[in-house]
Amino acid sequence: MRESVQYALDNHDEACRPGEFMRTGSSNMGQRMDTMRVLAIHAHPDDVEILAGGTMALLAGLGHAITIATFTAGDCGSAELGPEEIADVRRGEAARSAARIGATYVCLEMRDLAIFNDGPSRRLVVEVLRKTRPQLVLTSSPVDYLCDHEAASALVRDACFAAPAPNYHTGAADPAPSLGAIPHLYWMDPVGGEDREGLPVAPDFVVNVAGTFARKREMLSEHSSQREWLRRHHGTDDYLDTMERWTEERGRRAGFSHGEGFRQYRGHPYPQSPLLQELLGDLVARGR
């Protein structure tokens, strides 16, 4: 199960460019800054695209090295194909979506509705962190409509804490060295911006993704296997239009045509400085 993860991670090293410098785009993002390694990790294929695809496209456009990871390959996302068949389809969709912004795709090869915050799972996530070596991590909301999303959030939070501890061993066949520090950690919005009871979950800030929304829609369109599944199981009329309405709604509350919301995890001893906000400059507005 884990060989495919290892293969993808081994190949990812070439995409990382630590120590390089870049000149950013317009507005107040014109200062020179380090090229960051960014890990966007969520439960299932298409979650990152729906909740943070525009922001990932912005960061990729600024020259940062992006990895998109999912805990599962989405093996329950079909009523017609068996679990292995649909997982094969969805790995391909996720890889093509990531490629649209020059990102690398990694699948942790867990199974849908079977993500648990336990020792073996934590070791697997720590190994992904140590191999991708991100300074910036974005993951799922700790409150969301789906158990996998909530479990993934807790796993990533705790793995970020464990990854710099040299005495925490993952048991990988070729373990990567521990991180130098806990990375900056952010939560994406829950799906629909609500918790399980329908109460709104306000973001700390909203990123203006008007300039990359077309690319976000292209990325999500790669997940075409989900069109019929979401219509059948979630009652969603069209998953692309649903995503567009949500992105417009999140943006509207911050004065943008299209937006994506985030919260920064500030638990002790995680980094407190606003790294993501500074990378995006005046594309960021306070959330409501």
By beta-carbon proximity to Zn ion, the closer residue of 37 and 45 is 45
Smallest distance, Zn ion to C-beta of residue 104, A:
20
By beta-carbon proximity to Zn ion, the closer residue of 47 and 189 is 47
Site for Zn ion in 204-243 (CB under 5 A): none
Question: SS3 for 133?
Answer: coil
Smallest distance, Zn ion to C-beta of residue 39, A:
17
Smallest distance, Zn ion to C-beta of residue 154, A:
15
Residues contacting Zn ion: total by CB under 5 A: 3
By beta-carbon proximity to Zn ion, the closer residue of 256 and 262 is 262
Smallest distance, Zn ion to C-beta of residue 13, A:
28
- The amino acid sitting at 180 is G
Angstrom distance (rounded) from CA 79 to CA 190 = 25
Site for Zn ion in 43-62 (CB under 5 A): 43-44, 47
Q: What CA–CA distances, in Å, run from 76 to 12, 19, 114, 199, 229?
A: 27, 41, 11, 27, 10
Beta carbons of 107 and 69 less than 8 angstroms apart: yes
By beta-carbon proximity to Zn ion, the closer residue of 43 and 60 is 43
By beta-carbon proximity to Zn ion, the closer residue of 145 and 161 is 145
Smallest distance, Zn ion to C-beta of residue 43, A:
4
Q: Interface with Zn ion includes 93 (CB under 5 A)?
A: no
Q: How many residues does the chain have?
A: 288
Strand partners, 68: 40, 105
Give me the long-range contacts of 83-86 (CB less than 8 A, separation at least 24): 83/111, 86/225
Question: SS3 for 79?
Answer: coil
Cα angle 260-203-27, degrees, rounded to a multiple of 5: 55
Smallest distance, Zn ion to C-beta of residue 256, A:
24
Residue whose Cβ sits closest to Zn ion:
44
Contact mark string toward Zn ion, 26..45, x via CB under 5 A: -----------------xx-
Cα angle 176-40-156, degrees, rounded to a multiple of 5: 65
Angstrom distance (rounded) from CA 162 to CA 176 = 13
Q: Interface with Zn ion includes 94 (CB under 5 A)?
A: no
Chain positions contacting Zn ion, by CB under 5 A: 43-44, 47
